[in-house]
Chain A
Amino acid sequence: MTSPRRAAVRLFAVALLAGVPGATAHPLGNFTINHYARVEVDAERLRVRYVIDLAEIPTFQEIRRADADGDGSLSAAERDAYLEPVVAATIQGIDLGVDGIRVALAPGTKTLTVVPGAGGLPTLRVVADLAAAVPGGGSSPRRHVRFVDANDRDRIGWRELVVVPGAGIAIFDSSAFGSGSRTS
């Protein structure tokens, strides 16, 4: 993707698809941890928007962990203190590579929000923007991107991986759950 020409990317992704959609906020149940990754591929960079959606029970457990002063709410400092290691661990759980070379994701913006769930009980949503530089390649315009997400593999939850091509990029042979046009 160092060439300004239209490039093609073959993306190999491993996504654990753990279930079926339903009508509720957490279709696989109130103890799930759900993961969404949107991988945007362009010639220079790989950008990942990573979302962790915790249903009511893991939220209950995590809030206890994050609420350092035990006052029942999460201050800005508590949110930051919670997010920092969570995002770092998430990055560690992602195996991202280009043409067999592992590339390192760096954290960007990250937020933690509390979203009302069943009966108004809280659920947590972590959103982290991650990015990595694409290493230089040879003369071939075809590149192979590997994205394997090993985070929370022992937890039940929905997992979704969407690949979005950047300008001048075509995606083919993708094993991701979905792909689409750039949305943001």
Chain B
Amino acid sequence: MDGRARASAPRLGLLLGFLSLAAGACGDRGPGEREATPAPPAANADEAAIRYLESRVRQDTGNFVAYDKLAGYYLQRMRENGSLTYLDLAGRAAHASLAALPAEGNPGGLAMLAQVDHGARLTELEPGTSYPYQILGDALLELGDYGRAAAAYRRMERLVGRRGESRLNLETRLGRLAFLHGQTDAAERHLSAALASALDRDSTPRETIACCHWQLGELYFALGHYAAAETHYREALVTFPDYFRALGALARVRAAQGDVRGAIAGYERATRLVPDPTYVGALGDLYRIAGRESDARAQYDLVEHIRTLSALAGTVYDRQLASFYADHDIEAEMAYAAAAKAYVVRRDIYGADTLAWTALKAGRVEEAQAAIGQALRLGTSDARLLYHAGMVARAAGDQARKRELLGRALALSPAFDPVHAPLAREAVEE
């Protein structure tokens, strides 16, 4: 790990816990290669496994392997229901694992903490297993160090078999990496392979299969293939009913298809399960489109309330909230400050995009131009990035560039957002 990565490491714990929720690392439940703890009873597998492992660590506080596996299950629970409390529980289990055995003899516990501060060190301790490279690659990817992330995934690829959980973990990451680089065919191939790997194993958790479907749906939505996206979101919900990410995504498809009432119903259901501020804000937008201003206001107020709570809990939703403010032309300076602060640590393309969008709203056009250049540096096929870039070009007075970028955004995904796609269309025609 170089000096820059080491310097930023202490802030990664919260960051990466959220990222595994947001970026979609399907199915990670800790170091799967190590199975020293006997398998728990199979019925109602995940709940039983958690109960079993909790009882094991209560009986034997030195059982670091049980702590490791418990941390993995807690992270899966966090992905399933969005409760950040499970992130806290995972962290506690990881720390308990480390306390049970010194780090050098405890690569599993270190693997969980690697998401905090030891990614590279772990690969030195366990160069022959794939999981450390997966953790390292994930950390680097979300920090925006794409070259080194790709290198870590290449090392991971050499160590995983053609099938199994490690293959699934690899394919989801290669799919994500390909998407970010604008290689959408490769992304589709990898994400389809991930889904096939998930379906190939009887022991794959349903949440993991649902997550694979959701990821494919996200790809198709980004490409404007709304019907294909809907198919995968529906499959996700068949596999794992009440999977809140698929519910929210399906509502977004409804909105893209012009079904405002259906989209509202979908977001209402999704936010009842997990009040993710992105979904809450989207619901408010749809209420406003439907002329339900009071209901819209209630959702926007709820986003504010979530901001207060997230500040108390550790500012996990900073990026989402900054985007929300910028999207709604409110709190421009606060949003810009939050985005700029986050970008100091996490210099990935979406961090750059948020910085550009908030800088634009705060009247800092030159800074927005620089940041959006960073956001577009990989050639990602994402209509929202292109829309933001087009609006930055518009503010800078570059009409040709504006028309080109907004045209590309709308060609890629004509209804990428019920509020902003029409604004993009208006701006093109100015």
Are B302 and A118 closer than 8 Å at their CB atoms? no
Contacts of A118 in B (CB 8 A): 309, 312-313
| B49 interfacial by beta-carbon distance below 8 Å | no
Contact flags B94-133 to A (C-beta < 8 A → 1, else 0) = 0000000000000000000000000000000000000000
| A22 interfacial by beta-carbon distance below 8 Å | yes
8 Å CB interface, A35-61 against B: 56-57, 60-61
Contacts of B301 in A (CB 8 A): 60, 64
Q: Report if A29-B85 is in contact (Cβ < 8 Å); known contacts: A56-B305, A60-B302.
A: yes
Are B85 and A24 closer than 8 Å at their CB atoms? yes
Interface residues on chain B, number (Cβ under 8 Å): 26
| B306 interfacial by beta-carbon distance below 8 Å | yes
Interface centre among B83, B301, B305 (most CB of A within 10 A): B83
| A106 interfacial by beta-carbon distance below 8 Å | no
Contact flags B48-66 to A (C-beta < 8 A → 1, else 0) = 0010001000000000000
Are A31 and B274 closer than 8 Å at their CB atoms? yes
Are A28 and B83 closer than 8 Å at their CB atoms? yes
Are A29 and B83 closer than 8 Å at their CB atoms? yes
Are A155 and B89 closer than 8 Å at their CB atoms? no
Are B302 and A27 closer than 8 Å at their CB atoms? no
Q: Report if A121-B275 is in contact (Cβ < 8 Å); known contacts: A24-B85, A29-B85, A154-B242.
A: no
| A167 interfacial by beta-carbon distance below 8 Å | no
Q: Report if A56-B309 is in contact (Cβ < 8 Å); known contacts: A22-B85, A22-B88, A156-B273.
A: yes
Are B83 and A61 closer than 8 Å at their CB atoms? no
| B308 interfacial by beta-carbon distance below 8 Å | yes
| B298 interfacial by beta-carbon distance below 8 Å | yes
Minimal beta-carbon separation of B323 from chain A (angstroms): 20
| B140 interfacial by beta-carbon distance below 8 Å | no
- List the interface of chain A (C-beta within 8 A of B): 17, 19-20, 22, 24, 26-32, 56-57, 60-61, 64, 118-119, 121, 154-156
Q: A19-B77, A32-B83, A64-B298 are in contact. List 4 more A-B contacts (CB 8 A).
A: A22-B85, A27-B85, A118-B309, A119-B309
